[in-house]
Structure 1
Amino acid sequence: MAKSGGEEADSARRRGRPRSIETSNSILESAYALMAATGLATTTIDAVARHSNVSKMTIYKWWPSREALLIDAFLHHAAQMLPLPPVSSGTPAARARRHAAAYAEALQGEFGKVQLAVISECISKTGSAELFYARYLQFRRDALVAMIAAGQKDGSILAEGAPEDLYDAIYGGLFYRYVFGIAPVTPAYARSLVDLVLRPKG
């Protein structure tokens, strides 16, 4: 499986002793738990180190910045909560419906609040959301764009636009509606939006 931008960056950065999966997961889970429970302002490296019982030196060795750690903690949680749909789980359109519906449902809970907070943190610290895109969104976006393209190729998706534009219309629309509170972002709405944008055959 292809690595996300963050994973590739970490691989390139590490040259010595490989990180412990158990310790890494403990750090990521602690960071996400703190973000969800107390907010980003109090989710410092010190707080994560205390919560996970890991030294600050270890955290700084594996993550180049606090922002990178927060994004990877969100990525770690999202990978479990919103796994990318496997090829064996139905047509591209059916998989898109399920994933969009799961995303819409996740937005209603702590996941949505943490995602928005992490993006805001990136923008306030670096002036853009590029770090969030590189470490989290790019890999997932590329995988779902490829899924849409496969549906166009096999004829199960009738929409003729560029797969990237179709993806952005679905997930950008859901996020826009969520951020501004225009109307509830429900799983049913997400499924109907997928059908409106992709025009699945049959």
Structure 2
Amino acid sequence: MPGEGGVCARRPGVVTAKGGGEEADSAPRRGRPRSIETTNAILESAYALMAATGPTVTTIDAVARHSNVSKMTIYKWWPSREALLIDAFLHHAAQMLPLPPVGAGSPAARARRHAAAYAEALQGEFGKVQLAVISECISRTGSAELFYARYLQLRRDALVETIAAGQRDGSILAEGQPEDLYDAIYGSLFYRYVFGIAPITPSYARTLVDLVLRPKD
């Protein structure tokens, strides 16, 4: 399940980019520091190839040719092809669907905006690539654990903290655990998207947030 605020705690494998977005990185390694330009070229090439041809044929060879970066560099910076694909998706999501910054409205307002943006993104290329990356992880590793560890956990934690902040200040009246409330919102959106149960619109997402969180505003 995907998802998507608050201050994001840094975790191994992620660096916070300027402007509040998060970008993927592999575990720290010794030697010369990464070139941001080269990293971006690799991630953007991987995403472009996934969007155009699907993740199955987005090989390290193909990414190397498309980005003009050596395979050795890519293998040095990513532990597996699946990790690269997830990080490419994360890199794109950080630009297209940034986490709402603290102070940009009430917790409930931030949750509404983000859920609405996510619902809109699901209807386009973003949704198809996300589903394809999750499917690729499951087919290659037997679970979506890698997708959760490298992509979803950071974003889920940030939005769970947003909900918790609203409960603490009294602007969110729902009494459930913040994690369960988050899952009720984004689990519902993803479930409806995957199975095509009904159109997912920004308006529906905002209504769902209000139904689940019971905000005062």
Where on the TM-score scale, by shorter chain, does this alignment land: which range?
A: over 0.9
The answer to whether the Cα contact below 8 Å between 1:4 and 1:135 also exists between their aligned partners in 2 is no
The answer to whether the Cα contact below 8 Å between 1:5 and 1:138 also exists between their aligned partners in 2 is no
How far does the alpha carbon of each residue in 1:56-78 deviate from its partner, in whole angstroms, 9 at most, with x for none? 00000000000000000000000
Residues 1:10 and 1:76: Cα distance change in structure 2 (over 3 Å): closer
TM-score (norm. length: structure 1): 0.96
The answer to whether the Cα contact below 8 Å between 1:5 and 1:136 also exists between their aligned partners in 2 is no
AA partner of residue 181 (structure 2): L
The answer to whether the Cα contact below 8 Å between 1:4 and 1:136 also exists between their aligned partners in 2 is no
AA partner of residue 211 (structure 2): L
The answer to whether the Cα contact below 8 Å between 2:25 and 2:87 also exists between their aligned partners in 1 is no
| Count of paired positions | 202
- CA–CA separation in structure 2 for the residues paired with 1:164 and 1:15: 36
Matched, 1:7 2:10: no
Matched, 1:17 2:1: no
The answer to whether the Cα contact below 8 Å between 1:46 and 1:56 also exists between their aligned partners in 2 is yes
TM-score (norm. length: structure 2): 0.90
Aligned counterpart, 1:40: 55
Residues 1:176 and 1:33: Cα distance change in structure 2 (over 3 Å): same
- CA–CA separation in structure 1 for the residues paired with 2:53 and 2:162: 37
The answer to whether the Cα contact below 8 Å between 2:26 and 2:79 also exists between their aligned partners in 1 is no
1:114-133 alignment runs, 5 A limit:
114-133=129-148
Greater than 3 Å deviation, 4+ residue runs = 8-13
Matched, 1:111 2:126: yes
AA partner of residue 127 (structure 1): G
- CA–CA separation in structure 1 for the residues paired with 2:196 and 2:117: 18
Matched, 1:137 2:152: yes
The answer to whether the Cα contact below 8 Å between 2:106 and 2:166 also exists between their aligned partners in 1 is yes
1:82-97 alignment runs, 5 A limit:
82-97=97-112
- CA–CA separation in structure 2 for the residues paired with 1:194 and 1:58: 43
**Looking at both structures, which has the greater relative contact order when contacts are Cα pairs under 8 Å and sequence separation is at least 6?**
2
Q: Let me know the Cα RMSD of the aligned residues.
A: 1.4
Identity %: 87
The answer to whether the Cα contact below 8 Å between 1:100 and 1:187 also exists between their aligned partners in 2 is yes
* 1:101 counterpart SS class: helix
The answer to whether the Cα contact below 8 Å between 2:13 and 2:28 also exists between their aligned partners in 1 is no
